[in-house]
Structure 1
Amino acid sequence: MLTAAKINPEHLHPSLWRASQLARSFARCVSTGHPALDNQLPGGGWPTGSMTDLHTQQPGVGELRLLAPALSAVADRQIAFLQPPHPPQALALAGMGIPPESALWLRADRTADALWAAEQVLRSGSCGALLFWQNQVRPESQRRLTLAAQEGETLFFMLRPLAAAQDPSPAPLRLALRPRAGGLEVGFVKRRGPQRDEPLFLPMQINPAHRMQPRHEVAPAHRVAEPALHQ
């Protein structure tokens, strides 16, 4: 007879794991490009077909630099930027290894339209990644987006304020991002594995030229789509 110590919880159900270990990801994962961070994530990278919450102290703390290696890896399909604080900038994207021609800039006048657009991008499977900036998202909308993400293998990042990390979310992975001298501090709000109270410091060069810039300073990326979205 197998003892409890010999039973692998994942053999009982894919959603089970030991609290002392990182869960095994059954979805395809894309390396973050930062080995120290990969070692702290179930599956060793960003999960596809799932919602990942990134909570930032403020826009432009280095979140795009953090995501750049993964976005570059899936840039054979379009990278959708939905409701970014500033238009994507072609030179900045190219400097981070993201082909500017893969950038798709989407914006909507109403939150309901933006949420609808996010669902369509996720369900269509046409984009390698979706970055969706939104300050507040109702729980029922989060659940709809989670279900839509599960229909494909799109990298899906919700970028929200740091204060939103206190709110519940169905996202299995939630990280808090804060700028630090010479890099970025990553706090683990939620992950399928043991709790980590100590943040992870990732050294990286945060070049101001590699951030999204206001419209009057630079031209937006190529193939930018900016119509008002209507359901």
Structure 2
Amino acid sequence: MEQAIDQLLARPGIWRASETARHTGARGEHIPTGFSVLDTALPGGGFPSGALTEVLHDSHGMGELRLAMPALARLSRGGRWIAMIAPPHIPYAPGLSARGMDLSRVLVVHPTSEQQSRWALEQALRAGTCAAVLAWPEHCDDRSLRRFQLAAETGNSLGLLFRDSLAAGQHSPAALRLRIDSDNGQRLGVRVLKCRGATPGPVQLDDRPAGALHEQQPLPLHN
């Protein structure tokens, strides 16, 4: 009997209570955004892991991806994947690398339809192999958002949905909703729309995260 137990415990898929977490962003914890002002404004001190975060913006390129880059760089060094589902532009590898991303842990998925995009997003969130899943859905109804939220909880993944600011008036089960107010190349204006325990309102990010690109350098996504 003891020999059988020893063989079982030797299998790599067995977790022991004495073991430390194998990856950054354990269930129920928060992932620092890399912007100290925003981390202070959020009760958990960052993006909630195992949940959806919505980043709303008026148009692509306002700084929405730059807002997430410090957290993504941190997660990419934790051993799990960073998945991008149907990005609106081609990911620019040198730009991602300059911000500290481990490119060997980045997956880019190019579905051929919106339906396939939603399916890929849900599967990536649920799988448990992705530390973060980024998506740019064109349309999201309440049912789809709830499925994504449940999938993020199941897979303990940070789900980042970049959506049009018009979605601000739509009910959402996302744990955190932020809106990009402005980006003049040096600062990000962020408004907290929804966060349990936080007061909704603007947050001016005066500090730039370590490893941020200079204004003249290429952005992580480009045509």
Q: In the alignment, is the contact (CA less than 8 A) between 2:189 and 2:204 conserved in 1?
A: yes
Residue of 191, 196, 201 corresponding to 1:197: 201
The CA deviation string for residues 123-168 of structure 1, in whole angstroms up to 9 with x for no partner, is 1111111001012101111111111111122111010011111111
- Structure 2: unaligned runs, 5 residues or longer: 1-26, 209-213
**Alignment RMSD (CA, Å):** 1.7
Q: Percent identity?
A: 34
User: Aligned equivalents of 1:158 and 1:207: distance in 2?
Assistant: 27
- Structure 1: unaligned runs, 5 residues or longer: 1-25, 215-231
**What is the identity, as a one-letter code, of the residue corresponding to 1:104?**
L
User: Aligned equivalents of 1:105 and 1:207: distance in 2?
Assistant: 25
Residue of 178, 188, 192 corresponding to 1:188: 192
Determine whether 1:126 maps to 2:129: yes
Q: Secondary structure at 2:44's aligned position in 1? A: helix
**What is the identity, as a one-letter code, of the residue corresponding to 2:99?**
M
**What is the identity, as a one-letter code, of the residue corresponding to 1:168?**
H
* Number of the residue aligned with 2:179: 176
Q: In the alignment, is the contact (CA less than 8 A) between 2:118 and 2:137 conserved in 1?
A: no
* Number of the residue aligned with 2:154: 151
User: Aligned equivalents of 2:119 and 2:96: distance in 1?
Assistant: 26
User: Aligned equivalents of 1:135 and 1:113: distance in 2?
Assistant: 12
Normalising by structure 2, report the TM-score.
0.79
Q: Secondary structure at 2:154's aligned position in 1? A: coil
1:211 to partner: Cα distance:
3.0
**What is the identity, as a one-letter code, of the residue corresponding to 2:29?**
R
Determine whether 1:213 maps to 2:222: yes
Q: In the alignment, is the contact (CA less than 8 A) between 1:38 and 1:44 conserved in 2?
A: yes
**What is the identity, as a one-letter code, of the residue corresponding to 1:47?**
P
Q: Secondary structure at 2:202's aligned position in 1? A: coil
User: Aligned equivalents of 1:206 and 1:160: distance in 2?
Assistant: 24
Normalising by structure 1, report the TM-score.
0.76
* Number of the residue aligned with 1:141: 144
Q: In the alignment, is the contact (CA less than 8 A) between 1:119 and 1:145 conserved in 2?
A: yes
Worse overlay, 196-205 or 170-179: 196-205
Q: In the alignment, is the contact (CA less than 8 A) between 2:81 and 2:106 conserved in 1?
A: yes
The count of aligned residue pairs is 189
1:197 to partner: Cα distance:
2.9
